[in-house]
Amino acid sequence: MDAQAGRLPLANIWIAFITFLLAAFMGLYQVSERSGLFPRIEFVELYYRSVSSHGVIMGFVLTTFFIMGFGYWIARSTLKIPLWGGNALGWLSFLVSLGGTAAAAAMLFTGHASVMYTFYPPLKANPVFYIGATLLVVGSWIWCLQMVMTMNAWKKANPGAPVPLAMYAMTANAILWFITSLGVASEVLFQLIPWSLGLIDTIDVGLARTLFSWTLHAIVYFWLIPAYIAFYTLVPKAAGGKLFSDEFSRISILMLLVFSVPIGMHHLYVDPMQAAGWKFVHMLGTFMVAIPTLITGFTVIASLEVSGRLRGGKGLFGWIKALNWDDPMVLAGGFALLMLTIGGWGGLVNASYSMDTAVHNTQWITGHFHLIFAGTTVIMYFAIAYYIWPAMTGRPLFSQRLARFQLWLWFIGMLVLTLPWHILGLLGQPRRIGAPAYSQEFVEPWIPYEMAMVLGGAILALSAVLLIVNLLFSHLKRRSTQRPRMEYAEALHPTLKLPALLNGFGFWVIVIAAYMVASYGYPILQFFLMDTHGSFPWSI
Amino acid sequence: MHVDSTERKWVILSFLMAFAMIGILAAYAINYNIRPPSNVETIDSTALQLTEEFAEDSLGLKKAEDGSLVVTMVAMRYGFYPQDMKVPANTPITFRIASADVLHGVHTAGTNMNTMVVPGYVSQLTTTFPKPGKYPMFCNEYCGLGHDFMWSRLIVVPKEEFKFGEDS
């Protein structure tokens, strides 16, 4: 690999982390504001500006740029062939996404798009916001195409050989993202942009919400799959062991791919415009998607056990102690699994057709997805950055110790933030409220948990700063004499041959298309068959 | 393809767990009719005052022809109307709610009375409140800058103390 190969991934990942730092501080402002403990910083307009910006940055900008960067790096380091379309096409994708992000950010920061990252029509943002967000997605579509075509080029040059697992999973993620982003893209292109420009008078909010739900669940797996890639290919390597099962890792990824898109209507359980039967169908898939996560849990823990025993760990639990927890990747892997387990248990409640009504749109939900996304997923993004930085830059990491400390802070901060949020949700606190304006009797029981969440937010903001410091200072280190290599874990039983179904995606894309038509066909079509009444735009 | 025997057992167990959870939820849905609110009924949100059901005078608790209790409510920035309501405990109550403007949600904290209120559609759900007391009804979906001021009170009174007409 040439010395230039790291530039495109680095540029993408730096955009991800710079915006992340900004959004982490917005998060700190938000918990402080909504706690009601600091009346001097209570500005409702600023609060919703911040909530919208925090959501868009964390959900769309951090993730998309990080995943694109990691994807380019995986493609170059596993396949060792040039990117399809060359680096130039990659830079085009980067610039389109960056331009879109800048336009959307300008609207968000000036308060012209305080409509949440979920858009929530009939609240109307400035059209530039919708167009900017679209460009970010369009830029990422170029990346999707590059991932798929580069993998295909490699397969053509290596007939019958298994595609390296990291690349196989990343390509699955590109396909997943393309399919799932079509929902929000249709909402924005056919509804929000023409409506915000005044080309059409009204839009059907029921249809808009249904289209958004198409994107809203699988997007979570788009964010999560890079963490799984690290679980399979980097955590076992860092622990000095091997991947327990290459085949089951592929099966998990394929199950995520098939089951994660056609189940988005569990976000609409209590929406009036979809019938109960369809919600039930989507619930079935929602529980099926738990299976690949359970399998992944097994694979990762089994791989760690192999490593622990290779290190001389004995007995039922002795291998856990024998692991090298001082390695950032191993440490983050452990934290991520813990948070995934707690968050997963909470998720079973929201995923339930009937139990969801007890927690829908309460702070419980915010607690749930912060544990799974900001906890499990983002902590693995940190570990991935620490792991690939030396190979990408040719310089050693500034400080392993600081990296460990930063990961500990993130883990503790996330628990201090999200566990009280679950309780606040059960106490009935709605999500996305500022300093509570309700009668004192309802608010009083919330106070101790609000104090905890402010502390959690502060710990997380400090952790975010330390991440940036560590990565930034690494660029100032002296170049290593020998360029550090990028290494991935091998499977315990090396995969020499694979069934075509586990080495490609053609068949699975057809399965998803059929499943999508079955689960979303009528729920979308019904809006064109019913006599519906659209909504005019409203300002916030 | 190599499959470890412990792994095979775990995969089977994973499937069984998922099926068991689906089975429990399906049994509740069928036996106790516990379903999320999903009535797919359209309405013109810009003209609620012109409808018989959601005009200002007819909001609140009513007795339907079959004797069951129905509450009609309008969600509008930034409040739920009527603002204060009394209902009897341990009695099935059907809520019918429409939005006069943007997206809202309503959650009676501490209960499973929770639904989105989407402009253009009528939300309907039936629930029973077992515990008498004062409950807040929060708007639980961001609806604009006054979102956190949007709430109302629901008072659940013991069934035997509730007199229809005086209390409602």
Hey, is the C-beta of A281 within 8 angstroms of any chain B C-beta?
no
Residue A437: predicted pLDDT: 83
Q: CB distance A45–B145 less than 8 Å? A: yes
Q: CB distance B103–A280 less than 8 Å? A: no
Please enumerate in sequence order all residues whose Cβ is within 8 A of that of A37, keeping only pairs 6 or more positions apart, or say none: A450, A451, A454
* B118 to chain A, closest Cα gap in Å: 7
Mean of all residue pLDDT scores within chain A: 94
Residue A24: predicted pLDDT: 97
Instruction: Give contacts of B123 with chain A, Cβ < 8 Å.
Output: 272
A486 close to A388: Cβ distance less than 8 angstroms = yes
**Cα–Cα distance measured from residue B153 to residue B168, given in angstroms and rounded to the nearest whole number:** 13
Q: Which of A433, A439, A450, A527 to mutate to test the interface with B (most CBs of B within 10 A)?
A: A433
Q: CB distance B34–A533 less than 8 Å? A: no
Q: Which of B15, B43, B105 sits opposite A361 (nearest CB)?
A: B105
Classify B146 as helix, strand or coil: coil
On the question of pLDDT at A429 being above 70, the answer is yes
Hey, is the C-beta of A276 within 8 angstroms of any chain B C-beta?
yes
pLDDT one-digit tens code per residue, A29-80 = 999 999 988 989 889 999 999 999 999 999 999 999 999 999 999 999 999 9
Residue closest to A185 by CA, chosen among A145, A147, A148, A212: A212
Residue A439: predicted pLDDT: 85
Phi-psi region of A13 (alpha: psi -120 to 50; beta: other; left: phi over 0): alpha
Q: At what angle do helices A218-229 and A246-260 cross, to 10 degrees?
A: 170
Residue A436: predicted pLDDT: 81
pLDDT one-digit tens code per residue, B33-57 = 888 888 899 999 999 989 999 998 8
Classify A90 as helix, strand or coil: helix
Q: Which of B26, B111, B148 sits opposite A434 (nearest CB)?
A: B148
| DSSP, residue by residue, A387-428 | HHHHHHHSS--S-HHHHHHHHHHHHHHHHHHHHHHHHHHHTT
pTM of the model: 0.96
Classify A203 as helix, strand or coil: strand
Classify A362 as helix, strand or coil: strand
Query: Catalytic residue numbers of A?
Result: 217, 221, 368-370, 431-432
Hey, is the C-beta of A400 within 8 angstroms of any chain B C-beta?
no
Instruction: Give contacts of A532 with chain B, Cβ < 8 Å.
Output: 42, 120
Instruction: Give contacts of B42 with chain A, Cβ < 8 Å.
Output: 530-533
H or E segment and range at residue A379: helix A378-393
Can you tell me the mean pLDDT for B120-131? 95
On the question of pLDDT at B167 being above 70, the answer is no
On the question of pLDDT at A510 being above 60, the answer is yes
Chain A stretch 107-126, residues whose beta carbon is closer than 8 A to a beta carbon of chain B = 114, 116, 120-123
Q: Which of A201, A203, A271, A524 to mutate to test the interface with B (most CBs of B within 10 A)?
A: A271
A397 close to A386: Cβ distance less than 8 angstroms = yes
Chain A stretch 123-152, residues whose beta carbon is closer than 8 A to a beta carbon of chain B = 123
Q: Which of B2, B35, B107 sits opposite A430 (nearest CB)?
A: B107
Instruction: Give contacts of A365 with chain B, Cβ < 8 Å.
Output: none
Name the closest residue on chain B to residue A426, using Cα atoms.
B110
Instruction: Give contacts of A429 with chain B, Cβ < 8 Å.
Output: 109
Q: Which of B19, B30, B38, B101 to mutate to test the interface with A (most CBs of A within 10 A)?
A: B38
Residue A129: predicted pLDDT: 97
Q: CB distance A295–B120 less than 8 Å? A: no
What backbone torsions phi and psi does residue A435 show, to the nearest 5 degrees?
-50, 125
Q: Which of A206, A248, A438 sits opposite B121 (nearest CB)?
A: A206
A302 close to A244: Cβ distance less than 8 angstroms = yes
Instruction: Give contacts of A248 with chain B, Cβ < 8 Å.
Output: 3, 7, 11
**Cα–Cα distance measured from residue A50 to residue B12, given in angstroms and rounded to the nearest whole number:** 45
pLDDT one-digit tens code per residue, A211-251 = 999 999 999 999 999 999 999 999 999 999 999 999 999 99
Hey, is the C-beta of A347 within 8 angstroms of any chain B C-beta?
no
B116 close to A272: Cβ distance less than 8 angstroms = yes
pLDDT one-digit tens code per residue, A433-487 = 988 888 888 889 999 999 999 999 999 999 999 999 999 999 999 888 888 889 9
* A419 to chain B, closest Cα gap in Å: 18
Q: CB distance A540–B44 less than 8 Å? A: no
**Cα–Cα distance measured from residue B52 to residue B152, given in angstroms and rounded to the nearest whole number:** 23
Instruction: Take residue A2 and report the two structure tokens written for it.
Output: 């040439």
Residue B168: predicted pLDDT: 52
Instruction: Give contacts of A540 with chain B, Cβ < 8 Å.
Output: 144-145
* B136 to chain A, closest Cα gap in Å: 7
H or E segment and range at residue B16: helix B5-31
Q: CB distance B134–A441 less than 8 Å? A: yes
Hey, is the C-beta of A441 within 8 angstroms of any chain B C-beta?
yes
Q: Which of A268, A362, A538 sits opposite B140 (nearest CB)?
A: A362
A93 close to A150: Cβ distance less than 8 angstroms = no
Classify B78 as helix, strand or coil: coil
Instruction: Give contacts of A536 with chain B, Cβ < 8 Å.
Output: 46
pLDDT one-digit tens code per residue, A86-115 = 999 999 999 999 999 999 999 999 999 999
A79 close to A151: Cβ distance less than 8 angstroms = yes
Residue A130 Cα to chain centre, angstroms: 21
The strand pairing partners of A44, in sequence order, are: none
**How many contacts (CB atoms, under 8 Å) link A and B?**
209
Instruction: Give contacts of B22 with chain A, Cβ < 8 Å.
Output: 283-284, 287
Instruction: Give contacts of A123 with chain B, Cβ < 8 Å.
Output: 102-103, 142-144
At A273, the pLDDT band (50, 70, 90 cuts) reads very high
Q: CB distance A288–B25 less than 8 Å? A: no
At A187, the pLDDT band (50, 70, 90 cuts) reads very high
Name the closest residue on chain A to residue B146, using Cα atoms.
A44
The strand pairing partners of B123, in sequence order, are: B97
Least confident of A68-72, A301-305, A333-337, B4-8: B4-8
Classify A491 as helix, strand or coil: strand
Q: CB distance B120–A352 less than 8 Å? A: no
List the end-to-end C-alpha distance of chain B, in Å, as a whole number: 69
Length of chain B: 168
